Amino acid sequence: MKNLLLIIGFFIFIIGYSQTIGELYEKSKEAVVLIKTSESEVVGQGFQKLLLNVKGLGSGFVVSKEGEIITASHVVQTAENIVVKFSDGEEVFAKVVHSYPPADVALIKLVSLKSTPLKVVALSNSDKAKIGDQIFIIGAPFGLGHSLSVGYISGKYSRKIEGGFIDSEFIQTDAAINEGSSGAPMFNAKGEVIGIASFILSNSKGFQGLGFATTSNVALKLLFEEQSVWTGIDAHLITGTLAGILNIPQEGGVLVQKVATFSLGDIIGLKGGIYKITIEGEELVVGGDILLSVNNIALIKEENLHKAWRFIQNLNPGDTLQFKILRRGIVLDMVKTIPNSYIN
């Protein structure tokens, strides 16, 4: 009799918990959005290339009544157009406000408000999340809006760089994360956001139980406290043998592969690549600028990239930015004044 009561109690608990997850889903889903992007991309290699308008998909979630939405940086970093689709089918254009690619977080904002009041979700303290905690993710895998996946926190990882600053911090989970889920909110058992879906580790390019989400604490720090500047650049640090192959006149440099219109990179005149090639197993878009230094900081290693980033982060309208680039084999010293229209 005692065992029977325990079994009944167990099933009541499971049913009750499932209902709780369902209730939290219903409460939160209207704040979760599908993000549709388009941008120009080089397709093909060498001289057999085409410049096509490529569409992308991602997820995000509303964090303010003013239309601010958090998503993954790689979803919007070089996008030319961004359209946000809500659960009721309404679509509204958006623009990038802040972005920090190393942590894969970005803040976008609606260009005009939705016709009906926005639903928002709250961000929680991700430091309180523990390995073994159950979580759930609402996203748009493969464009299937408001899909629910449930799992557990499997691990927590952070990367510290010069000065002890944590520039990226991730929660590992076995909850399904697939293409289109990037930028989706990860909720705790209270329905609070503790992470932003970022990437997976997989040999098959499909989900294999190793998904990662940027922590809410890092997102809050980078997007709201520091207000990370949106460079709009898809960049790749080139060192070693590759630096020699590309004739970089120093130990390394930053290959500019794409530059989004109206971004800081576009404002200061950087040019993206036009040829897609594969060198030593790496697919790169070359033919554009290679950044050699910013404010006399040689861009030859990751630590220096962070120093340069910090300098750029503190720029204001009217300030002067000095940088050196390699363009079509010629080293150019550039000086640009940040225009008044630029908002950090």
Q: CB–CB of 84/76 below 8 Å?
A: no
Coil, strand or helix: which one is 323?
strand
Number of Cβ within a 10 Å radius of residue 129: 21
Which member of 73, 74, 147, 167 is catalytic? 74
Number of Cβ within a 10 Å radius of residue 342: 18
Would you call 88 a catalytic residue per the annotation?
Answer: no
Cα-Cα-Cα-Cα dihedral of 66, 71, 73, 78, to 10°?
-70
| Cβ contacts of 86 within 8 Å, gap of 6 or more | 30, 33, 92, 114
Coil, strand or helix: which one is 322?
strand
Count of residues for the chain? Answer: 344
Name the amino acid, one letter, at 175: A
Cα-Cα-Cα-Cα dihedral of 232, 238, 244, 249, to 10°?
60
Place of tokens 């510290």: 160
What 8-state DSSP symbol labels residue 128?
G
Which member of 59, 182, 216, 293 is catalytic? 182
Number of H helices, E strands in the chain: 6, 20
Name the amino acid, one letter, at 106: A
Would you call 236 a catalytic residue per the annotation?
Answer: no
What does the DSSP assignment read for 253-270?
EEEEEEE-TTSHHHHTT-
Cα(219)–Cα(103) distance, integer angstroms: 8
What 8-state DSSP symbol labels residue 123?
B
Which member of 104, 167, 234, 289 is catalytic? 104
Would you call 104 a catalytic residue per the annotation?
Answer: yes
Cα(258)–Cα(237) distance, integer angstroms: 14
- Catalytically annotated residues: 74, 104, 182
